[in-house]
C-alpha cells in the first residue's frame, strides 16, 4: 500500500528541503511514497487535497509534515508503522524560546480544543508511546480511514485555531486517540534540538536584563526524565509564578 506525503510549501525553512529530499530518497521505493506538495496555498487546502489524493489512489496512510521542520529520521516511517496506531507522530518544540514541547494535554478535559483558552498544557513525552490531546504536523502518520470516521472535515477551514486543533478535536469526538512516539524529536525552525539549552540560557539572560520574572517566565508543568525547564535565575530566587520581583527593603531584617 502506498503512503501520501503531504508537504505544504508556504514559508520554507532553508534546512527543510535538503533534509526532506534525503529522507524521501531513502524511503520512496520501500514505502511506495506519493509526494503531495503544493506551493503557497493555504495550509488547510493543501492538507484537504492530500486526503483527496490518498482516497483516489487507495493509499493506506498520509504522512503530514510542514516546511519549517527538518532533521527527519531515516527510519522514522518504519518506527511509526510498527507502532500500528491510527494517529501517531514524533514530537517537536516551539520555534521561539523557551522552546516548549508541542505535545499538549488539557488541564480541563471538558474544554474543546477549538476554544482559545489557556487550557492546553505543553507536556514532555515520558513513555515510549504516549497519548496526548493535541499533537502537531511535525512528522505525523495518519491512517486514511481516519478521515472516513470523523464527523466533520478537519480541513474545511483555517480560522482562529490551526488545523491540527481541528483534526485532534475531530478525532477526539469519535474516540480516536492521538499518540506520540518518544523515539525522535523533529527540529523546528532555526534552533536544532541539540542547542535548545543554549537558546534557553540566552532567553533567561534577556528576561533577567529586562526585569521579567514570575508570570512572564514560563514554567513547564509536570515532571520530565531530564529536568523541568525553569529559568535558573527563577530557581535562585524561588519565585515560581508569583509575579514581578521588587527590590528588597534595605532596612528589613536579614538583608545584606
Q: Give the pLDDT means over successive 10-residue stretches in the chain (256 positions).
A: 94 93 96 96 95 97 97 97 98 91 93 90 93 97 98 89 95 98 95 90 81 49 43 40 40 40
Beta bridge partners of 90: 181
Q: Which residues contact 185 (CB under 8 A, 6 or more apart)?
A: 90, 91, 92, 93, 193
Distance CA 148, CA 133 (A): 20
In terms of Cβ atoms closer than 10 Å to its own Cβ (0-12, 13-18, 19+), residue 121 is middle
- State how beta strands 178-185 and 87-91 pair: parallel
Positive/negative CA dihedral, 124, 125, 131, 135: positive
Under 8 Å between Cβ of 185 and 94: no
Q: What is the CA radius of gyration of the chain?
A: 21
C-alpha cell at 40: 503557497
Specify the pTM.
0.82
Per-residue pLDDT at 213: 55
Enumerate the H helices of the chain as residue ranges: 16-27, 43-57, 76-83, 146-149, 163-173, 196-209, 232-237
Distance CA 134, CA 121 (A): 10
Distance CA 180, CA 103 (A): 8
Q: Where in the chain is the domain with CATH 3.90.550.10?
A: 3-188
Distance CA 151, CA 140 (A): 20
Under 8 Å between Cβ of 113 and 204: no
Per-residue pLDDT at 249: 44
Per-residue pLDDT at 166: 96
- What is residue 156's DSSP assignment? S
Helix, strand, coil percentages for the chain (3-state, nearest 5)? 30, 20, 50
CATH 3.90.550.10 fits 3-188, yes or no: yes
Distance CA 58, CA 51 (A): 10
Amino acid at each position: 500500500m502506498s503512503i501520501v506525503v503531504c508537504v505544504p510549501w508556504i514559508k520554507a525553512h532553508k534546512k527543510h528541503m535538503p533534509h526532506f529530499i534525503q529522507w524521501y530518497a531513502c524511503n520512496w521505493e520501500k514505502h511506495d511514497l506519493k509526494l503531495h506538495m503544493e506551493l503557497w496555498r493555504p495550509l488547510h487546502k493543501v492538507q484537504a487535497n492530500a486526503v483527496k489524493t490518498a482516497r483516489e489512489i487507495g493509499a493506506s496512510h498520509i504522512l503530514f509534515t510542514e516546511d519549517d521542520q527538518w532533521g527527519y529520521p531515516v527510519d522514522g516511517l518504519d518506527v511509526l508503522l510498527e507502532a500500528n496506531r491510527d494517529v501517531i507522530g514524533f514530537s517537536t518544540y516551539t520555534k521561539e524560546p523557551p522552546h516548549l514541547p508541542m505535545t499538549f494535554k488539557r488541564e480541563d478535559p471538558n474544554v474543546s480544543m477549538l476554544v482559545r483558552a489557556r487550557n492546553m498544557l505543553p507536556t514532555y513525552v515520558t513513555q515510549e508511546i504516549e497519548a496526548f490531546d493535541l499533537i502537531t504536523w511535525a512528522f505525523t502518520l495518519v491512517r486514511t480511514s481516519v478521515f472516513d470516521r470523523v464527523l466533520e472535515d478537519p480541513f474545511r477551514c483555517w480560522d482562529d485555531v490551526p488545523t491540527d486543533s481541528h483534526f485532534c478535536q475531530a478525532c477526539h469526538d469519535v474516540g480516536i486517540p492521538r499518540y506520540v512516539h518518544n523515539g525522535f524529536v523533529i527540529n523546528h525552525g532555526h534552533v536544532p534540538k541539540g542547542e535548545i539549552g543554549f537558546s534557553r540560557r540566552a532567553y533567561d539572560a534577556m528576561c533577567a536584563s529586562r526585569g521579567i520574572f514570575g508570570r512572564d517566565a514560563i514554567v513547564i508543568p509536570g515532571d520530565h526524565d531530564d529536568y523541568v525547564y525553569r529559568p535558573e535565575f527563577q530557581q535562585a530566587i524561588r519565585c515560581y509564578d508569583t509575579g514581578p520581583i521588587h527590590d528588597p527593603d534595605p532596612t528589613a531584617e536579614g538583608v545584606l
